[in-house]
Amino acid sequence: MGKLTTCINNKDTKTNPIWLMRQAGRYLPEFRDIRKKNQNFIDLCLNETLSSEITLQPIRRFDFDAAIIFSDILIPPYGLGQKVEFKKNFGPLLGDLELNKISSIKEDQFTNKLMAVYNSIKIVSQNKLLKDKDTIGFVGAPWTVLVYMLNKQSPKKDFNISIFEDQNQIDKIFNILDKFLKIHIKNQIDNGATIIQIFDSWAGLVDEKNINKYIYNPTSSLVKFTKSLKVPVICFPRNIKNYKNYVDNVKPDVVNIDYEVDPRKIASEINIPIQGGLDPKILLTDKEKIRNNALNYLNIFKDHTYIFNLGHGVLPETDPTNVEYLVKTVKEF
Ligand code: CP3
């Protein structure tokens, strides 16, 4: 067990553990070295030797309090048999969704196909670098995974609303995802994950009228399941309009906030542990701005259990020395 779990379980308001979303990634030269020689991103995620090494790189360099496993939220659709590729300068590109095909996948087939991810978690969590640190496993929330499966690319690029007309199809996909995302969560926990984070990157696309159906209900099912396994669960409903309603309905142990929401409003409305918030673009500026902005979040949440993190992932153009400075600022607070 690590600092994050201890803090969450004891409702500790004095310590501020730190890790960053996308802490393992393109801003690190040691990652780019490996990536250059491994052009296929899925193959890299499914190479337990390399994915465990990539997961440990930022721990070695910055002594973060948690490691997040190097994988992707689109690994479960791949495990279900949908084609998933990552194209350079484009992002994810999925093949057509064949509902009959993904409906026939058995639990064993799915688990065996993704075994390297679970082996990687085992390697990471048993490494002596992880002594007193948490290993974070993760899934995409059903809504966000469904958006990629149907839209086949990031909705930021092109979002085809008509895919949501077939309610029967949507219900079927949600059912399949509920089953297999739970299997993916359990497999990660069985192999050493001490925390689960649920990324709902496209929660902001859903309007009030559909929020129960698409966000609250499917996510709370995963939250309840994770809690039943006695592991804390962090939810990140990025750009959701009302974090307070989200927390009241979904009941995660921790909520990660994005950088557009006012942290003071969050601190006054929400009583559960909070994670994140800082705009990743701040890491592209200078030491003084980094320090002032980080201290601002730490001060606003000084009476909360607060896990330091960003309001979205580390940007590829980030200078690693700025990350080092951020960690130092937070640890000295
Ligand atoms: O360090 C970590 O945070 C752990 C690994 C991780 C990755 N993706 C690795 C990755 C995690 C937790 C994710 C989550 C993820 N993946 C999300 C949710 C968080 C978010 O960003 O909103 C989403 C939406 C995805 C889907 C995805 N994967 C996209 C849209 C892209 C392309 C755009 C981008 O940011 O590069 C990816 C690729 C991806 N996933 C990379 C990494 C390190 C870049 C791969 C490369 O080297 O080209």
Q: Is 26 in the pocket of ligand 1 (CB under 6 A)?
A: yes
Find out whether the beta carbon of 22 lies less than 6 Å from any atom of ligand 1. Answer: yes
Structure tokens at 259: 């950088």
What spacing in Å lies between the alpha carbon of 115 and ligand 1's midpoint?
Answer: 20
Which ligand 1 atom minimizes the distance to the CA of 313?
A: 21
Q: Which of 18, 22, 53, 151 to mutate to test the pocket of ligand 1 (most atoms within 8 A of CB)?
A: 22
- pLDDT band per the 50, 70, 90 thresholds, residue 164: confident
Helix (H) or strand (E) holding 137: strand 134-140
Identity of residue 237: P
The pTM for the full model equals 0.97
Which of these, 252, 295, 289, lies nearest to 277 by C-alpha position?
Answer: 295
What torsion do the CA atoms of 229, 21, 181, 130 make, to the nearest 10 degrees? -40
Angle 252-255-261 from CA coordinates, rounded to 5°: 145
Q: Residue 157's pLDDT is what?
A: 80
Nearest to 166 by CA among 106, 121, 99, 104: 99
Res. 127 pLDDT band, cuts 50 70 90 = very high
Q: Half-sphere exposure of residue 264, counting CA atoms within 13 Å on the CB side?
A: 1
Residue 304: pLDDT band with limits 50, 70, 90: very high
Percent residues over pLDDT 90 in the chain: 96
What domains can be seen in the chain, in order of their start residue?
3-332 (3.20.20.210)
CA distance 226 to 182: 8
| Whole-number pLDDT of residue 15 | 95
**Binding site membership of 72 for ligand 1 (Cβ less than 6 Å):** yes
Mean pLDDT of 294-309: 98
Question: CB under 8 Å to 38, separation ≥6 — which residues?
Answer: 44, 47, 50
Which residue puts its alpha carbon closest to atom 45 of ligand 1?
A: 41
Average pLDDT over residues 91-108: 96
Q: What count of Cα atoms within 13 Å lies in the side-chain half-sphere of residue 277?
A: 25
Is the CA virtual torsion 303, 7, 9, 215 positive or negative?
Answer: positive
Angle of helix 167-190 versus helix 115-126 axis, rounded to 10 = 40
Whether 160 shows a pLDDT value over 90: the answer reads no
**What atom of ligand 1 comes closest to residue 26's alpha carbon?**
47
Q: Whose CA is nearest to atom 13 of ligand 1?
A: 72
Mutation pick for ligand 1 pocket among 59, 69, 73, 135 (CB with most ligand atoms within 8 Å): 73
* Mean predicted confidence (pLDDT) in 153-161: 86
Q: pLDDT band for position 1 (50/70/90)?
A: confident
Q: Estimate the crossing angle of helix 217-228 against helix 167-190, to 10 degrees.
A: 20
pLDDT tens profile 42-86: 999 999 999 999 999 999 999 999 999 999 999 999 999 999 999
Residue 88 Cα to ligand 1 middle (Å): 13
Q: Is the dihedral of CA 236, 134, 120, 80 positive or negative?
A: negative
Check: CB of residue 106 under 8 Å from CB of residue 114.
Answer: no
pLDDT at residue 90 in the model: 92
Q: Is the C-beta atom of 70 inside 6 A of ligand 1?
A: yes
User: pLDDT tens, 188-215?
Assistant: 999 999 999 999 999 999 999 999 999 9
The span from the CA of 171 to the CA of 176, in Å, is: 9
25 CA distance to ligand 1 centroid (A)? 9
Q: Residue for token digits 């659709």? A: 77
CA distance 296 to 302: 10
The number of beta carbons lying within 10 Å of the beta carbon of residue 111 is: 17
Q: Which residues 6+ apart lie within 8 Å of 224 measured at CB? A: none
Q: What is the largest CA-CA distance in the chain?
A: 56
Using CA positions, which residue lies closest to atom 42 of ligand 1? 25
Mean pLDDT, to the nearest integer, of 118-139? 97
DSSP string, 257-295: --SSS-HHHHHHH--S-EE--B-GGGGGS-HHHHHHHHH
Whether the CB of 216 sits within 6 Å of ligand 1: no
Ligand 1: centre distance to CA 72 (Å):
6
